[in-house]
Chain A
Amino acid sequence: MNRTLPAARAALRGSGAALRRLLVLTAVVPAELLLLVVVLGSFVLWFGLGIFFLFPATTRLARTAAGLARACAGRWSGVPVPPPYLPRPGLERTLHGWFWTGHDYQRHRWFASVSRTIRWLWKDPATWRDVLWVVLNPVVGGAIAATPPLLLAGGLYTLASTPTHALAHLLAGTALPLPGPGPVPAALLALALGLALTAAGPALAGPALRLHGRWTRALLGPTERSRLARRVEQLTETRLDVTEAQAAELRRIERDLHDGAQARLVAVSLRLGAVAALIDRDPDRARSVVTEAQENVAQALQELRDLVRGIHPPVLAERGLAEGLRALALDVPLRVEVRAELPGRAESPVESAVYYAVSEALTNAVKHAGARHAAVDLVHVDGLLRAEVTDDGRGGADPGRGTGLLGIQRRLAAFDGTLTLISPPGGPTRLTMELPCALSSPRTSTS
């Protein structure tokens, strides 16, 4: 009893909310009919009179409405519907100043732009599915949305009107216009029907709302083709990011070598030249120059070591991610607890990406959050590698500020990885990275 009562109350509240949402969806049907008239009217104008710029305008209008319907399906019905549209193609300018629309050449930018836009919208199947939705939704969507409220209203009406009807007929001495053997059983039957309808309305509200969401997804969701187009776009973007990051990394390495080890070796060579000149005349001076040369070599080696550590940390290379993170934890000025057990090794680029992401997170914990403790958790479950960095710093990290987090995000995106940051002011900060990846069986050791 104690447990069922709150549950029943919650269920009632849930169906109340669903009913309200269905009422809203029903109430917008007139607006949808208006949209239908506008869209079909513009098509008539376009095909009939050739007012071609109406097409993009009404398509945009339909897209806006479809966007709202998608948002409703996601928020109210719990059916997320990603937009299915093909990406807008670019306008290429030729050497001669003409514009290539992907279909023909245009002299003027405006014409080229309109031509390209129309072709883009015309060729996208999602445009026509939008139109289909505009035509069908007032009927189908409206019917789905209106049914439970209508059932409830009918039930309530029956419940309210049956006693008064029965009373009026009894007083007038006439028979009830109800089926059944006599006036009283007929009234009871009507009451039962009213109760059933009243119960059915709220009970069907939730399923109807979900059905409405699925109906929306059926017409407005992405098709396989648009999903692939989006994927290609996303891959192009991350590939560009990776290429840029790689180029920047190479520039940094080149600069470090040029200003560091290379310069030191030049100095060594100069000193050795000096030694060759001095060795007979001034052996003491020659000896001290040799010492200097040795120091130069030591510095060059140190710089090369630091460089290598920056490119591919030794423990990561030698033992993989879990041990690499343990070694990293020993090197940061922070107490870090590492809980990492992997049954095998991930691909080397994945290992690197996660390693540097964790490294950046720990650096942030020290530099910006002023943390004293941190924890790194690494697990591989269901083909998903998840790394979580938690610190006890002051929190309030904003992914929009600074380039560090953005860099991590880009780096992970190249592997379809995601980054989630939870950092309320006052801490604690929790950074979660997830990457789909397979693990290879561990390398057999000869020891």
Chain B
Amino acid sequence: MRVVLAEDLYLLRDGLSLLLTAHGHEIVAAVGSGPELAAALAEHRPDIAVVDVRLPPTFTDEGLQVALAARRARPGLPVLVLSQHVEQLYARELIADGAGAVGYLLKDRVSHAGQFMDALRTVASGGTVMDPQVITRLLARNADDRPLALLTPREREVLAMMAEGRSNAAIAQRLHFSEGAVSKHTSSIFAKLGLGASDDDNRRVLAVLAYLDGTRSA
């Protein structure tokens, strides 16, 4: 895949370039600031952009803003956002356009190269990947809401993995279930949450997050 990489810390940018090249991807541009990122995205039209939230010159959420603007210009542009912190606010903004092909991960996750490459592939193919921390915190703060309280602990676990963008097969492997058992769980979850079942990973995540989001204003 052709990747545009935006990260202001040289060590991390270099490390990520190395990691991505080692896994057979091509770095078409590795930049260190927001304006450079905007230019690189417009020029190279990459298969995926890997973007750090906080970038110069403002050292605020420049990277995120550039990524969101690029996605407005080109809907569905795959963007994997990396950050030292995951914020629900930013997660919501990323998935808000409903176009999928977004990922939002802690920078730490790159140390597990396999998982990171999985996430990269999922996002590039239009899926949605949310850091487990986003999911954990979403579940924690909504634990008292009635429909969520109906879920069994096992179903919550499956829901969290679904929200991370895992397929039934991946969940089955992770929890040492059969795939059939997982799909039984997922249909039970959808039934309890009042959502129509769907096999589409992306729509599953959106449904989960939309549901959790909806419980706030309900």
Question: Would you list the 9 A-B pairs with minimal beta carbon distance, nearest first?
Answer: A447-B65, A318-B60, A330-B88, A447-B69, A327-B89, A318-B61, A314-B85, A333-B141, A301-B108
Pair B54/A335 contact, Cβ less than 8 Å: no
**Distance between Cα atoms of A332 and B108 in the complex (Å):** 24
Q: List 12 A-B contacts (CB under 8 A).
A: A297-B111, A298-B108, A301-B108, A305-B85, A314-B84, A319-B60, A323-B89, A330-B87, A330-B92, A331-B88, A445-B65, A447-B66
A317 at the interface (CB under 8 A from B): yes
**Distance between Cα atoms of A323 and B53 in the complex (Å):** 15
Contact with A along B41-65 (1 / 0, CB 8 A): 0000000000001100110111001
Pair B111/A309 contact, Cβ less than 8 Å: no
Closest residue of A by beta carbon distance from B83: A314
Pair B85/A309 contact, Cβ less than 8 Å: yes
CB neighbours of A323 from chain B (8 A): 89
Task: Report if A335-B216 is in contact (Cβ < 8 Å); known contacts: A315-B89, A318-B60, A446-B35.
Answer: yes
Q: How far is the CB of B214 from chain A (nearest CB, A)?
A: 12
Which residue of A308, A315, A333 contacts B84 across the interface (Cβ within 8 Å)?
A308
Q: How far is the CB of A53 from chain B (nearest CB, A)?
A: 66
B170 at the interface (CB under 8 A from A): no
**Distance between Cα atoms of A308 and B90 in the complex (Å):** 18
B68 at the interface (CB under 8 A from A): yes
Interface residues on B, range: 20 to 34
Which residue of B57, B66, B68, B144 contacts A333 across the interface (Cβ within 8 Å)?
B144
CB neighbours of A334 from chain B (8 A): 141
**Distance between Cα atoms of A297 and B70 in the complex (Å):** 34
CB neighbours of B38 from chain A (8 A): 446-447
Pair B58/A327 contact, Cβ less than 8 Å: no
Q: How far is the CB of A341 from chain B (nearest CB, A)?
A: 16
Interface residues of B in 187-218 (CB under 8 A from A): 216-217
**Distance between Cα atoms of A333 and B35 in the complex (Å):** 38
Pair A317/B60 contact, Cβ less than 8 Å: yes
Closest residue of A by beta carbon distance from B137: A331
Pair B111/A447 contact, Cβ less than 8 Å: no
Interface residues of A in 128-172 (CB under 8 A from B): none
B140 at the interface (CB under 8 A from A): yes
Interface residues of B in 65-92 (CB under 8 A from A): 65-66, 68-69, 83-85, 87-90, 92
Contact with B along A298-333 (1 / 0, CB 8 A): 100110010011000011011100010011001111
Not counting A314-B84, A323-B89, A445-B58, a sample of 17 additional A-B residue pairs whose C-beta atoms are within 8 angstroms of each other reads A298-B108, A298-B111, A302-B108, A309-B85, A314-B54, A315-B87, A315-B90, A327-B88, A330-B92, A331-B137, A331-B141, A333-B144, A335-B217, A443-B60, A445-B62, A446-B34, A447-B66
A294 at the interface (CB under 8 A from B): yes
Task: Report if A446-B89 is in contact (Cβ < 8 Å); known contacts: A298-B108, A330-B141.
Answer: no
**Distance between Cα atoms of A317 and B137 in the complex (Å):** 21
**Distance between Cα atoms of A332 and B216 in the complex (Å):** 11
Task: Report if A446-B141 is in contact (Cβ < 8 Å); known contacts: A297-B111, A308-B84, A314-B84.
Answer: no
B143 at the interface (CB under 8 A from A): yes
**Distance between Cα atoms of A332 and B90 in the complex (Å):** 16
Closest residue of B by beta carbon distance from A305: B85
**Distance between Cα atoms of A411 and B96 in the complex (Å):** 37
CB neighbours of A333 from chain B (8 A): 140-141, 143-144
Pair B58/A446 contact, Cβ less than 8 Å: yes
Which residue of A330, A443, A447 contacts B89 across the interface (Cβ within 8 Å)?
A330
CB neighbours of A308 from chain B (8 A): 84-85
**Distance between Cα atoms of A294 and B111 in the complex (Å):** 8
CB neighbours of B69 from chain A (8 A): 447
Q: How far is the CB of A65 from chain B (nearest CB, A)?
A: 59
CB neighbours of A301 from chain B (8 A): 106, 108
Pair A446/B66 contact, Cβ less than 8 Å: yes
Contact with B along A96-124 (1 / 0, CB 8 A): 00000000000000000000000000000
CB neighbours of B88 from chain A (8 A): 327, 330-331
Contact with B along A342-381 (1 / 0, CB 8 A): 0000000000000000000000000000000000000000
Q: How far is the CB of A115 from chain B (nearest CB, A)?
A: 59
CB neighbours of B92 from chain A (8 A): 330
**Distance between Cα atoms of A283 and B88 in the complex (Å):** 41
CB neighbours of B217 from chain A (8 A): 335
**Distance between Cα atoms of A323 and B93 in the complex (Å):** 12
**Distance between Cα atoms of A319 and B60 in the complex (Å):** 7
Closest residue of B by beta carbon distance from A332: B141
**Distance between Cα atoms of A294 and B115 in the complex (Å):** 14
Q: How far is the CB of B40 from chain A (nearest CB, A)?
A: 14
**Distance between Cα atoms of A445 and B89 in the complex (Å):** 18
Q: How far is the CB of B79 from chain A (nearest CB, A)?
A: 13
CB neighbours of B85 from chain A (8 A): 305, 308-309, 314
Q: How far is the CB of A4 from chain B (nearest CB, A)?
A: 49
Q: How far is the CB of B65 from chain A (nearest CB, A)?
A: 4
**Distance between Cα atoms of A445 and B57 in the complex (Å):** 10
Q: How far is the CB of A193 from chain B (nearest CB, A)?
A: 73
CB neighbours of A327 from chain B (8 A): 87-89
Interface residues of A in 398-447 (CB under 8 A from B): 443, 445-447
Looking at A318, A327, A334, the one whose CB has the most chain B CB atoms below 10 A away is: A318
Closest residue of A by beta carbon distance from B85: A314
CB neighbours of A331 from chain B (8 A): 88, 137, 141
**Distance between Cα atoms of A302 and B132 in the complex (Å):** 13
CB neighbours of A298 from chain B (8 A): 108, 111
**Distance between Cα atoms of A333 and B57 in the complex (Å):** 35
CB neighbours of B89 from chain A (8 A): 315, 323, 326-327, 330
Q: How far is the CB of B217 from chain A (nearest CB, A)?
A: 8
**Distance between Cα atoms of A157 and B65 in the complex (Å):** 84
Q: How far is the CB of A206 from chain B (nearest CB, A)?
A: 52
